[in-house]
């Protein structure tokens, strides 16, 4: 009960903040939207394509994780599964995209424990990747971030990197699987039933950093479609986007980070925490349009992968 209240409070609070900010600046925001010309619409279309490419890369990285878990899979099939289930993250509960991937993996004769481990590793690696980008961005460009927040970023990164290390992860996974095996009375051939991470997932981690950078590129292109940008602003914008995206990922109660990402992005850029000082109406317009771009790219990816599966198989 307390968890539900907390989730709805977080979602309601962030949506109220975004709504109030939008209402206060609606005149300037509507003017910016009305002034978008054909060339700028083309840039927004490119931003949508880049964001879709980021999701395709994320699906590809998921196949790397599964292969690291000693699973023989067809890459294209599991990228399709990833894209088709990705849109389900906007369903309240924020777990249904993971559930869909686990179920699809089981249908492909992957054990429940291995499928579950893969979908747990994937967001953990995303979080680690975003923390790396945020940390580099803040250390190189930010001037106003409190020292406590800097220390918190570093500690958070260290904790995540330790958690995904096989030395830490395998004993936990083995213990949980032994409990499940004991409960189901499958005590024979125990050692071969245990799923384990064979090596540190450094390659998937690099892939997730690529995912974050592509998402950042889509966000920056959205800003560029609305106003001119200096090259010197790009590193700080990458850091600001990655920070907002990370908070949207880890905060409970926000399906797909809806509301949380926008609130953090607006607050971060309005207060110049990453030194990228932008007009308020530009910040608000960008976050709203980029949310639409994200949903459009995810919907397009789901639709195209579904058509590909139906027409060419």
57 and 88 belong to one structural domain: yes
189 and 44 belong to one structural domain: no
Per-residue pLDDT of the chain (313 residues; tens, 9 = 90+): 555 555 545 555 555 655 655 565 556 567 677 778 889 899 999 999 999 999 999 999 999 999 988 888 999 999 999 999 998 888 877 788 889 999 999 998 888 888 888 888 888 899 889 988 888 776 666 555 667 777 777 787 788 778 778 888 777 666 655 655 454 444 344 334 456 677 888 899 999 999 999 999 999 999 999 988 888 888 888 988 999 999 988 886 667 777 788 888 888 887 765 655 678 888 888 998 999 999 999 999 999 988 887 776 6
Question: Does some domain include residue 149?
Answer: yes
172 and 292 belong to one structural domain: no
**pTM, whole model, 2 decimals?**
0.84
113 and 217 belong to one structural domain: yes
Domain housing 184: 167-199
Please, what's the b/e burial string for 165-198 (b: 16 or more CB within 10 A of its CB; e: otherwise)? Answer: eeeebeeebeeebeeebeeeeeeeeeeeeebebe
Question: Does some domain include residue 12?
Answer: no
Cα separation, 126 vs 124, in Å, equals 5
């Amino acid at each position: 009960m307390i968890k539900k209240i907390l989730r709805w409070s977080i979602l309601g609070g962030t949506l109220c903040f975004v709504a109030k900010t939008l209402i206060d600046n609606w005149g300037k925001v509507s003017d910016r939207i009305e002034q978008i010309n054909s060339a700028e619409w083309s840039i927004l279309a490119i931003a949508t394509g880049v964001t879709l490419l980021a999701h395709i890369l994320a699906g590809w990285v998921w196949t790397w994780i599964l292969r690291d878990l000693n699973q023989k899979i067809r890459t294209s099939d599991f990228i399709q599964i990833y894209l088709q289930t990705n849109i389900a993250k906007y369903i309240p509960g924020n777990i249904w995209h993971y559930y869909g991937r686990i179920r699809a993996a089981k249908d492909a004769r992957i054990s429940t424990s291995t499928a579950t481990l893969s979908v747990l590793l994937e967001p953990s690696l995303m979080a680690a990747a975003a923390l790396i980008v945020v940390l580099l961005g803040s250390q190189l460009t930010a001037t106003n971030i409190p020292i406590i927040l800097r220390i918190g970023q570093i500690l958070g990164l260290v904790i995540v990197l330790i958690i995904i290390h096989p030395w830490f992860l395998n004993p936990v996974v083995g213990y949980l699987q032994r409990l499940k095996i004991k409960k189901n009375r499958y005590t024979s051939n125990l050692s071969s039933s245990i799923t384990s991470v064979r090596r540190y997932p450094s390659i998937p981690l690099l892939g997730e950093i690529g995912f974050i950078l592509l998402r950042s590129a889509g966000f920056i292109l959205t800003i560029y479609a609305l106003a001119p940008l200096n090259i010197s602003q790009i590193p700080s914008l990458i850091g600001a986007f990655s920070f907002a995206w990370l908070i949207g990922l880890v905060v409970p109660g926000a399906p797909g980070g809806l509301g949380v990402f926008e609130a953090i992005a607006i607050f971060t850029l309005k207060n110049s925490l990453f030194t990228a000082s932008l007009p308020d109406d530009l910040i608000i317009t960008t976050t709203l349009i980029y949310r639409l771009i994200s949903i459009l790219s995810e919907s397009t990816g789901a639709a195209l992968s579904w058509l590909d599966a139906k027409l060419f198989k």
